[in-house]
């Protein structure tokens, strides 16, 4: 029979061992669809079995400037995606229909898909997307432009490089070294190798390592003196 002291030590040892296993497992990687869509439609990528989500961007006055909402299947495909830019009074609501995303109101075909649910073509804009062997969108091509995308080993988007005629715009993102806090990042933008601006974001996270609220600071270096804008992001996320 194990005496009380040895039993207590055994329980502690098991707890430490299990905790070590959890840490070793690490966070869930970003799927090709989530990473690629967030890159293309400018929202923060999420991990894990997301069922539906919303991301709301508010300015320093507490006014909503942008909102993204989406629903996903258990396989990780976007069933619906709504994008609203209140500052510019624009938006779109997309619904998955076979191998297309159609406009929710007009039912007009907007985006053609490749495979099960990855971006392939935006016919009206003459844009096509290429993927790598893992299914991530790595290149977008149009008549007068080309965009290259980068990701880290977990599928986190590291930025993109856009070439259009004589202009070359790059956005390079550096996430936190803490793998569970990837959305704590800094990003630097340059236009023809000249500083354009930078962004710094820090967040609070849920148990899936997804951000539930963030603070965002944007500095515009394209004007003199530089202009700083502060935002907050509020997220709601439901899981399967």
User: What is the CATH number for 125?
Assistant: 2.40.160
CA distance 43 to 69: 10
| Residue 161: inside a domain | yes
Q: Which two tokens stand for residue 144?
A: 């007068």
| C-beta of residue 93 within 8 angstroms of C-beta of residue 80 | yes
Place of tokens 């601006």: 197
Is 133:150 a contact under the CB 8 Å cutoff? no
The answer to whether position 19 is within a domain reads no
In whole angstroms, what separates CA 115 from the centre of its chain? 21
209 is a domain residue: yes
Distances in whole angstroms, Cα of residue 45 to Cα of each of 18, 29, 41, 222: 29, 10, 10, 27
List for the chain the helix, strand, coil content (%; round to 5): 15, 50, 30
Phi, psi dihedral angles at 187 (to 5 degrees): -135, 140
As for how many domains the chain has, the answer is 1
Do the domain assignments include residue 230? yes
Confidence at residue 5, expressed as pLDDT on a 0 to 100 scale: 44
Does residue 159 form part of some domain? yes
pTM of the model: 0.87
**Cα-based angle 8, 11, 14 (whole degrees, multiple of 5):** 150
227 is a domain residue:
yes
What pLDDT is attached to residue 73? 97
Do 156 and 181 form a contact (C-beta atoms < 8 A)? Answer: no
Asked if 79 contacts 50 with a C-beta cutoff of 8 angstroms, the reply is no
- In sequence order, what are the beta bridge partners of 61? none
Q: How many residues does the chain have?
A: 240
| 228, part of any domain | yes
Q: Domain range for residue 206?
A: 29-239
Per-residue pLDDT of the chain (240 residues; tens, 9 = 90+): 445 444 444 444 444 444 444 445 789 999 999 999 999 999 999 999 999 999 999 999 999 999 999 999 999 999 999 999 999 999 999 999 999 999 999 999 999 999 889 999 999 999 999 999 999 999 999 999 999 999 999 999 999 999 998 899 999 999 999 999 999 999 999 999 999 999 999 999 999 999 999 999 999 998 999 999 999 999 999 999
pLDDT value at position 231? Answer: 98
Q: Which helix or strand (DSSP H or E) is residue 191 part of?
A: strand 185-191
Token pair for 211:
């951000």
Angle at the Cα of 224 from the Cα atoms of 223 and 227, rounded to 5 degrees: 65
Q: What is the pLDDT of residue 21?
A: 42
Cα separations in angstroms, 71 against 93, 137, 158, 225? 12, 20, 24, 41
Asked whether residue 3 is assigned to any structural domain, the reply reads no
Tell me how far apart the alpha carbons of residues 99 and 114 are, in angstroms, rounded to a whole number.
7
């Amino acid at each position: 029979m194990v005496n009380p002291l040895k039993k207590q030590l055994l329980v502690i040892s098991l707890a430490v061992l299990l905790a070590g296993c959890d840490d070793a497992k690490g966070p869930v990687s970003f799927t090709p669809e989530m990473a690629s869509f967030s890159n293309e439609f400018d929202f923060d990528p999420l991990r894990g079995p997301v069922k539906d989500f919303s991301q709301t961007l508010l300015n320093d006055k507490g006014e909503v400037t942008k909102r993204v909402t989406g629903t996903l299947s258990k396989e990780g495909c976007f069933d619906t995606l709504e994008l609203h830019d209140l500052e510019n009074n624009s938006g779109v609501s997309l619904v998955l229909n076979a191998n297309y995303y159609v406009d929710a109101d007009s039912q007009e075909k907007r985006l053609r898909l490749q495979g099960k649910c990855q971006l392939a073509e935006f016919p009206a804009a003459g844009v096509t997307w290429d993927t790598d062997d893992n299914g991530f969108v790595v290149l977008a091509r149009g008549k007068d432009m080309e965009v290259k995308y980068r990701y880290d080993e977990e599928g986190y988007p590291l930025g993109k490089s856009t070439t259009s005629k004589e202009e070359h715009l790059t956005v390079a993102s550096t996430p936190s070294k803490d793998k569970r806090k990837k959305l704590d990042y800094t990003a630097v933008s340059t236009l023809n190798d000249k500083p354009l601006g930078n962004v710094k974001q820090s967040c609070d996270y849920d148990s899936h390592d997804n951000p539930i609220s963030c603070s965002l600071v944007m500095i515009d270096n394209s004007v003199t003196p530089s202009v700083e804008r502060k935002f907050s992001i509020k997220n709601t996320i439901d899981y399967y």
